[in-house]
A = this chain, B = another copy of it.
Amino acid sequence: MRDYVEIGIGREARRTYDLDQVSLVPTRRTRSSKDVDTTWHIDAYTFDTPLVSHPTDALATPEFIIEMGKQGGLGVINAEGLWGRHRDLEGAIAQVTSNPQDLSNLQQLHAAELNEELLSERISQVRDSGVTVAVRVSPQRARELAPVVIKAGAEILFIQGTLISAEHVQQGGQPLNLKEFIGTLDIPVIAGGVADYTTALHLMRAGAAGVIVGSGVNTNAETVGIDVPMATTIADVAAARRDYLDETGGRYVHLLADGDIHTSADIAKAIACGADGVVLGPVLAQAAEAGGKGYYWPSTAGHPRFPRGIIEPVGSALAEVYTPASAAAARVELSLEVVLHGPSNDPLGQLNLVGGLKRAMAKCGYTDLKSFQKVGLAIR
């Protein structure tokens, strides 16, 4: 069934697909965008849109997280980023963006000690606003930090590394047994990223309420050669979701896509391939509320010895059409509301993201996210 090719004598590889090779095929009666419902329910929480922010300080200031919630999405705080390491968050970020070609500043800032009190204080500030609080911890520090962030107000816990497995094996170490660990928590856990069916199924069996597909880093291909083909992997993990649903007689685990999603079209295509929600990165950095003030980087870019992901100017995706400088300048004065809901003067799917998703669904004749997962697909 899978499409395998023999790349050399006796060595096979699977043929896989990226989101940008996929396009939607409208074959039903069109609908009005107004009739489209993008509501996303996960555990006890309901969101107007299935949009989640990548847990990077290039997005997450307290203001950004609060506004993300108010605009119907879910902002995610990185417990191991700058929030708990530097009281002067703005100053720290100014250092990062002062020389964006060099990751050294970002790396040094991440080497500062984590002040749990400072982190808790900031999480509480978000909690006080009334929006749902989601916090990301790494698998390595989950046991240590989860109690801290939950006490400070976290309602959803992201356990996210670039790529994780349900049971990490380490000689002589005490790696996280996710199943055991999740069993001890009272709040839902979303875990990932994963790049295959098997790992995803393991995470589901470990009790995750959601699984993240993809590494959230656009330079993973260069560093470790694992370049997650998002269209294929989302479909594979959706199959794991189906099989687990059958196996458990009804436990539905959510699939969040985190990789290669830069436009409203990408959001629609990720859902069409089987995602329940999508994690957004650079496209949200257009908002004035975002921490990066004109720049984006994934959370992994600050890794002390093995950074992945670059510090990129906002709007660099537009470079071929507009000059990036002027575009970036124009962009960072926009509000998150405009980025998500418009009005838009952008014809390339980077503003009014929710409007774009709704329009895609309406043009294809679907009014809810779940049924839209069945829309016809074409590849090139």
Instruction: Give residues in A with beta carbon < 8 Å to B.
Output: 1-3, 5-18, 22-32, 34-35, 101-104, 107, 162-171, 173, 175, 195-199, 219, 221-229, 231-236, 238-239, 242, 263-266, 268-269, 272-274, 301, 304-310, 321-323, 326-327, 330, 342-350, 352, 355-356, 359-360, 363-365, 376-380
Contacts and interface: CB of A to CB of B under 8 A. Distances in A.
Contact of A8 (B235, B306, B323): B235
B263 A222 contact: yes
Contact of A272 (B3, B225, B263, B274): B225
Contacts of A221: 23, 265
Given A35-B171, A273-B7, A24 B224 contact: yes
Contacts of A236: 8-9
A236 to B, nearest CB: 5
A347 B307 contact: yes
Nearest to A168: B30
B2 A196 contact: no
20 contacts: A1-B9, A3-B6, A7-B16, A7-B232, A8-B238, A8-B273, A8-B274, A13-B378, A17-B380, A25-B195, A26-B163, A26-B196, A30-B165, A32-B173, A35-B170, A222-B350, A223-B360, A224-B359, A306-B344, A309-B347
B27 A199 contact: yes
A14 B8 CA distance: 10
Contacts of A309: 347
A25 B359 CA distance: 34
A264 B224 contact: yes
Contacts of A377: 7, 11-14
B196 A25 contact: yes
Contacts of A8: 17, 231-236, 238-239, 273-274
A266 B35 CA distance: 38
Given A24-B225, A225-B268, A232 B363 contact: no
A10 B224 contact: no
B9 A347 contact: no
A145 B150 CA distance: 59
Nearest to A235: B8
Given A166-B29, A359-B223, A360-B224, A11 B346 contact: no
A72 to B, nearest CB: 17
A323 B161 CA distance: 30
Contact of A7 (B231, B305, B343): B231
A18 B23 CA distance: 12
Given A7-B235, A29-B169, A377-B11, A347 B223 contact: yes
A356 B306 contact: yes
A274 B11 CA distance: 9
Contact of A306 (B18, B22, B25, B352): B352
A120 to B, nearest CB: 29
Contacts of A322: 101
Nearest to A167: B29
Question: Which among A14, A34, A227, A273 has the greatest number of chain B C-beta atoms within 10 A?
Answer: A227
